């Protein structure tokens, strides 16, 4: 298969929203189970690290430690929600529930099904991020009105991680193998993207690699600027990186999944 075929622009229609609606309906039917983990996980980190470990840290880059990690918790919720929705979630729908087969039997194309999945992954990111924003707002850890921009941005960030997750789903031979990108890629991002300590503490080479290869680095940078009420011009560079990476990964993920499902 020529490499150019992996970057063929998908042909889409309004029908992609039918897939989104189907996933939304399933989510709503099990909403109690779906909303609890996004609420508990950031709370545990904020209490354990922010109110626990944070008592031994005067400040981090001029702010309280709990205010330093609060935007990281918002960013991580975006990453987890969209990435795992389009890896384990999509894999289950594709192979075990045979949902993809059923949808493709209708006028929808494979490209539209995958794009609908990606949009739903981005939506899950926005839902979970909104929940965490509410939590940190109640705790007084964010500044307004800048933090209101986090909600629309969470959809964009979620789309990036959804596309990334779908790429792994497309090349993974079985569901158990999805633990490899989770451990070898998502976990390092969770730890080394400026989440719990500034990137400036890392060696220069690792800083460059974080900005070049780890999407969460750019997302944390933007979210932290918004929650602290101090947006700057450098956020534009982070945003451009996210948009360009999303476009590339979107086209790649759709074509990889198309090849997997057809073969």
Mean pLDDT within 179-199: 92
* DSSP letter assigned to residue 60: B
- Give the whole-angstrom CA distance, residue 40 versus residue 29: 20
Is the model's pLDDT at 263 over the cut of 90?
no
Q: Backbone phi, then psi, for 171, in 5-degree steps?
A: -105, 0
The pLDDT, as a whole number, for residue 187 is 92
Q: What is the pTM of this model?
A: 0.94
At 197-221, the pLDDT tens digits run 999 999 999 999 999 999 999 999 9
Is the model's pLDDT at 89 over the cut of 80?
yes
Is the model's pLDDT at 260 over the cut of 90?
no
Other beta carbons within 10 Å of 78: 30
The pLDDT, as a whole number, for residue 183 is 92
Select from 256, 46, 75 the least CA-distant residue to 166. Answer: 256
- Give the whole-angstrom CA distance, residue 104 versus residue 180: 29
């Amino acid at each position: 298969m020529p490499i150019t075929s992996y970057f063929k622009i998908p042909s889409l229609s309004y029908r992609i929203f039918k897939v989104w609606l189907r996933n939304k309906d399933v989510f709503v039917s099990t909403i109690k189970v779906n909303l609890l983990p996004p609420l508990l996980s950031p709370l545990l980190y904020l209490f354990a690290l922010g109110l626990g470990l944070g008592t031994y840290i005067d400040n981090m880059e001029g702010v309280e430690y709990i205010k330093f990690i609060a935007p990281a918790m918002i960013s991580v919720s975006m990453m987890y929600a969209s990435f795992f929705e389009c890896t384990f979630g999509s894999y289950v729908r594709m192979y075990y529930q045979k949902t993809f087969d059923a949808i493709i039997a209708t006028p929808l194309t494979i490209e539209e099904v995958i794009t609908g999945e990606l949009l739903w992954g981005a939506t899950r990111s926005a839902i979970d991020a909104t929940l965490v924003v509410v939590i940190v707002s109640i705790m007084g850890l964010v500044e307004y009105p800048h933090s209101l921009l986090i909600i629309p941005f969470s959809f964009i960030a979620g789309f990036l991680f959804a596309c990334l997750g779908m790429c792994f789903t497309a090349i993974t031979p079985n569901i158990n193998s999805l633990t490899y990108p989770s451990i070898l890629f998502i976990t390092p991002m969770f730890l080394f993207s400026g989440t719990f300590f500034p990137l400036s503490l890392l060696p220069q080479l690792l800083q460059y690699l974080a900005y070049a290869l780890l999407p969460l680095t750019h997302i944390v940078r933007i979210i932290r600027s918004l929650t602290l009420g101090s947006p700057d011009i450098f956020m534009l560079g982070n945003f451009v990186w996210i948009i360009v990476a999303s476009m590339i990964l979107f086209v790649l993920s759709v074509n990889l999944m198309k090849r997997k499902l057809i073969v």
